[in-house]
Amino acid sequence: MKLTAFAFLGFAISAFAQTEVVTTAAQTSKPTSSPKKKTDEANKNPFGPESKNEGPITTEIYADEASFDSSKNVGVFTGHVKVFDPRFNLQSDKLTVYLHKGEEQGLEKAIAEGNVGVVRDRPDPNGGPPTHAVGRSEHAVYTATDGSVELTGMPKVQQGLNLHIATSSETVMVINQDGHLNTHGPSRTEIRQEPKEEKPGSPSPSPSPKQ
pLDDT of residue 205: 59
Instruction: For residue 36, give the nearest of 12, 60, 56 by alpha carbon.
Output: 56
pLDDT of residue 8: 39
Q: What global pTM score does this model have?
A: 0.67
Q: How far is CA 173 from CA 35, 67, 90, 127, in A?
A: 37, 29, 16, 26
Chain centroid offset of residue 42 CA:
18
pLDDT of residue 198: 65
pLDDT of residue 134: 92
Count Cβ atoms within 10 A of the Cβ of residue 33 and give its class: 0-12 exposed, 13-18 middle, 19 or more buried.
Answer: exposed
pLDDT of residue 177: 83
Q: What is the pLDDT of residues 171-187, one digit of tens each?
A: 999 988 877 889 999 99
Mean pLDDT, consecutive 10-residue stretches, the chain (211 aa), reads: 32 33 40 43 44 68 95 95 90 95 80 94 78 91 92 93 94 88 95 74 59 52
